[in-house]
Amino acid sequence: MKITQQRIIATLIAFLLGFAMLSMANATTPEENKAAGEAFLAENAKKPGVITTSSGLQYQIITEGTGKSPSATANVTVHYQGTTIEGKEFDSSYKRGAPASFPLNRVIPGWTEGLQLMKEGGKSRLFIPSNLAYGERGAGRDIGPNAALIFDVELIKIQ
Q: Is 90 a catalytic residue?
A: yes
**Is 3 part of a structural domain of the chain?**
no
Q: In terms of residue numbers, what domain contains 122?
A: 28-158
**Is 23 part of a structural domain of the chain?**
no
**Is 2 part of a structural domain of the chain?**
no
68-79 average pLDDT score? 97
Given 40, 80, 143, 156, the catalytic residue = 80
What is the pLDDT confidence band of residue 19, given thresholds at 50, 70 and 90?
very low
**Is 138 part of a structural domain of the chain?**
yes
**Is 129 part of a structural domain of the chain?**
yes
Q: Is 134 a catalytic residue?
A: yes
Q: Is 91 a catalytic residue?
A: yes
Answer yes or no: is pLDDT of 142 > 70: yes
Given 40, 59, 127, 151, the catalytic residue = 151
53-58 average pLDDT score? 98
**Is 68 part of a structural domain of the chain?**
yes
Number of structural domains, the chain? 1
In the chain, % of residues over pLDDT 90: 81
Answer yes or no: is pLDDT of 129 > 70: yes
State phi, psi for 53 to the nearest 5 degrees.
-85, 175
In the chain, % of residues over pLDDT 70: 83
pLDDT at 147: 96
pLDDT at 28: 80
**Is 11 part of a structural domain of the chain?**
no
Q: Is 59 a catalytic residue?
A: no
Whole-model pTM?
0.82
Per-residue HEC secondary structure of the chain comes to: CCCCHHHHHHHHHHHHHHHHHHHHHHCCCHHHHHHHHHHHHHHHCCCCCCEECCCCCEEEEEECCCCCCCCCCCEEEEEEEEEECCCCEEEEHHHHCCCEEEEHHHCCHHHHHHHHCCCCCCEEEEEECHHHCCHHHCECCCECCCCCEEEEEEEEEEC
Please say whether the beta carbons of 146 and 135 come within 8 A: yes
Mean pLDDT of the chain: 89
What is the pLDDT confidence band of residue 99, given thresholds at 50, 70 and 90?
very high
CATH number at residue 137: 3.10.50.40
pLDDT at 75: 98
**Is 54 part of a structural domain of the chain?**
yes
